Structure 1
Amino acid sequence: MAELGASPAFPRRIDNRPTSGVPDAVAAARIELRQLRYFISLAEELHFGRAAAREHIVQSALSQQVQRLERTLGVVLVHRTTRHIELTAAGSRFLLEARQIIEHVDRAAGLAQGLTSAPPALRVGLLDEGYEAARPVLRTLRARYPELEVHQVQVGVPEQCRMLADGRLDVGIGRSCAAPPQIASELFRLDPLGVLVPDGHRLARLPVVPVSALAGETLLMPDESRAPELAEFVAEICRTAGFVPAAFCGSALNLRAAVDLVVGGCCVMCAPASTADLAAPARWRPLAPVVPRYPWSVLWRAEQPARAVLALVAIARELSRREGWRDPRESRVNLAS
């Protein structure tokens, strides 16, 4: 359960309506799609503030709509205390149905608006095609909308934000901490961070590598111009462990070139787990004592997003939930963990 700002406790029942699990026709007709979306966000975030930010509304408005939904149904969906929030049994059951309804509505809207028959091109910015974090999302998008033209653009996160702002990019994939206010974002994956080392390296023999063990290694840092968020993430992990990394004197054009430097014995490199399968013959080992997690978010221009953009965001959210890519109660990665 997650922390929650002060909110009055609710009774277990709202009125004397029978709780058969199926609302009457009048009640069902009063349910609004936005109420379902708000409830889903609240159920996944387990925090009113984060759910409201995700839906781009104020917290009080989201709370009011969820309360109206509960009154319409005649059951309590969310148990609130002054410190915590959790779904009731009825809320857990209703969540499954609400997700299906929203997915069907989004799918129908896409069909009606021509997403599958005459779709626009979708320009997606990726830090590096070697990072696998977003690959399942794009693969599912292409399978679900086979006529949608998806163009991948290899570009750093700062440039992604600039391109999103001026309309040269539709979607970005990266860490959202530096995104300007006009760029919306949603966390979809917390990627365990580890270290890539050459086969036969002393650290390759360890099942997990203490962060402190990197103090004696030459570390290839992410390119500051292309991935300042990832570079700062790695640097902060090292600082938390009590040392400043001995940075490799040089840089790599892309992930493949970086792996070649590691394999050649020039350095070691911190990298998310999503690169492990692509980094052979280098060896990936998780960091210890608790593995830090790098946050990947979908970025898009908040004002009037295209249907294809919303489809990608929905797929990222769907896969994140199904594959367990993130803890829905956490909005930020603890660098000290």
Structure 2
Amino acid sequence: MELRQLRYFVTVAEELHFGKAAERLGIAQPAVSQQVARLEREFGLLLLDRSSRHVRLTADGERLLREARAVLAAADRTAEVAAELVSGRGNLVRIGTAPGMRDRLERGIAVLRGDATDGEATLVAGTRDEHFAALRSGELDLAFVRGEVAARDLTAVELWREPLSVLAPAAYGSEGGVKLADLADLPLRLPPDPVLRDQMVAACREAGFEPVLGRPVHNFEDVVVELSVGPAAWTVVYGEACEPSEGPLWMGLIAPPMSVPGQLVTRAGHPADCLDIVAAAFR
């Protein structure tokens, strides 16, 4: 299926006349007929009831018309957003963000704006599910999330892989990283992040133990203090080690290394070339 086929079908459905549709599209009538027929063959549906006297939508055609209009509207919106991003005009784009993405966001927005000074990006914090709902409703244009995205009405482009690091008592650390099995006797404290929780629970089970989940982590600085002065426990964060190895705690990579994908997510149906422009800026 191609966007032009949907556009031809929608135009014929609105005009109920192939000749008028071709004139409105500025192309030859045979091309319109051929592409609409190809769309019908691909879907295995009869979308238009044709005769020498009239053209009418079938019941399947009426249903598909609503969906086709939605796809084309999303595609047009993406083209507008991409044009704004490239030119730096106006209120550029509404972007759903995730923690720890400051550098990537600054670089990407700077690339898209170029030398323009009047552009603006609106950044919206939220969870994966909140971003997905906002994308579907049109409240967001783009979103950055971690983890796999399997929703059929959304398009995800993997831009990076994010390593996972462990913060644990210093006695458990080593230059080669820490094996999960070595942490089996300690409670695992995680943020309220279902992607990270599911991946770590699965990894612990693969390492041969069922993790004992401790209190949730809501602030990294707070958990550093709590692990330094309180009962022994461990936690996992996105990114490479950023803390010194001296003191009561050690921070380093998991052995063997683990990572999660970082994804750029938009509504499905956006033109590939526009999505490529945005993805390249933030990659």
Scaled by the length of structure 2, the TM-score of the pair is 0.59
Establish whether residue 165 from structure 1 lines up as the match of residue 136 from structure 2.
yes
The answer to whether the 8 Å contact 1:218/1:247 transfers is yes
In the alignment, does 2:177 pair up with 1:211? no
Aligned-pair distance for 1:278?
Answer: 7.1
- Residue 188 in structure 1 maps to residue 159 in structure 2: yes
Identical pairs, percent: 23
Looking at structure 2, the residues matched to 164 and 247 of structure 1 have their Cα atoms a distance apart, in angstroms, of 32
Pick from 92, 103, 107 the counterpart of residue 140 of structure 1: 107
Match of 2:201 in 1: 235
Matching of residue 285 in structure 1 with residue 252 in structure 2: yes
CA distance in 1, matches of 2:121, 2:145: 18
Aligned to 2:216, what secondary structure does the other structure show?
A: coil
CA positional deviation for 1:123: 2.4
Counterpart of 1:155 in structure 2 is 126
Residues 147 and 260, structure 2, Cα contact 8 Å, conserved in 1: no
Q: Measured at CA, do residues 184 and 239 of structure 1 come closer, stay the same or move farther in structure 2, by a change above 3 Å?
A: same
Q: Using the alignment, how far apart are the partners of 2:211 and 2:94 within structure 1? A: 36
Distance 1:212 1:258, change over 3 A: same
CA displacement, residues 78-98 of structure 1 (integer Å, 9 cap, x when unaligned): xxxxxxxxxxxxxxxxxxxxx
What one-letter code is carried by the residue in structure 2 that aligns with 1:232? D
Which amino acid counterpart does residue 272 of structure 1 have in structure 2?
A: Y
Partner in structure 1 of residue 58 of structure 2: none
2:227 aligns with 262
**In the aligned structure 1, how far is the partner of 2:244 from the partner of 2:132?**
28
Rounded to whole Å, the distance in 1 between the matches of 2:89 and 2:213 is 49
The Cα RMSD (Å) is 3.3
Describe the superposition over 1:11-34 as per-residue Cα deviations: whole angstroms up to 9, x where unpaired: xxxxxxxxxxxxxxxxxxxxxxxx
* Structure 1 unmatched runs, 5+: 1-108, 318-337
C-alpha spacing 1:304/1:287, structure 2 compared with 1 (3 Å): closer
Distance 1:292 1:178, change over 3 A: same
Task: Give 1:251's aligned residue.
Answer: 216
Q: Deviations for 1:128-182, whole angstroms, at most 9, x for unmatched residues?
A: 2xx2xx4333122232215432233221112211111112222222235344211
Give deviations 1:71-115, integer Å, cap 9, x for gaps.
Answer: xxxxxxxxxxxxxxxxxxxxxxxxxxxxxxxxxxxxxx9997574
Q: Give the distance between the partners of 1:112 and 1:298, measured in 2 at CA.
A: 18
Q: Compute the displacement of 1:309 (Å).
A: 6.5
Give TM-score, length-normalised by structure 1. 0.50
Q: Is the 8 A contact 1:125 1:172 kept in 2?
A: yes
Q: What is the aligned counterpart of 2:191 among 218, 222, 226?
A: 222
**Residues 110, 125 of structure 1: alpha-carbon distance in 2 compared, 3 angstrom cutoff:** closer
Verify the 8 A CA contact 2:191 2:218 in the aligned structure 1.
Answer: no
2:108 counterpart SS class: helix
Name the aligned partner's letter for residue 215 of structure 1: A
Structure 1: how far apart are the matches of 2:181 and 2:157?
32
**Which one-letter code corresponds to 2:254 in the other structure?**
L
Instruction: Select 1:296's aligned residue among 259, 262, 268.
Output: 262
1:194-249: CA deviations, max 9, x gaps?
A: 21125xx21235541111111011110231xxx2111101111101101111111x
Indicate if the aligned counterparts of 1:262 and 1:268 stay in contact, CA closer than 8 A: yes
Given that 2:190 and 2:217 are in contact with CA atoms closer than 8 Å, whether structure 1 keeps it comes out as no
The 5-angstrom pairing of residues 1-337 of structure 1 reads 115-128=86-99, 131=100, 134-144=101-111, 145=113, 146-198=117-169, 201-223=170-192, 227-248=193-214, 250-266=215-231, 267-274=233-240, 276-277=241-242, 283-288=250-255, 290-304=256-270, 311-317=277-283
The 3 A distance-change label for structure 1 pair 171 and 255 is farther
Code of the residue aligned with 1:141 in structure 2: it is G
Contact 2:85 2:92 in 1 (8 A): no
Q: Which letter does structure 2 place at the counterpart of 1:126?
A: T
For the Cα contact (< 8 Å) 1:137–1:315, is it kept in 2? Answer: no
2: CA distance between counterparts of 1:256 and 1:127? 18
Aligned with 1:217: secondary structure?
coil
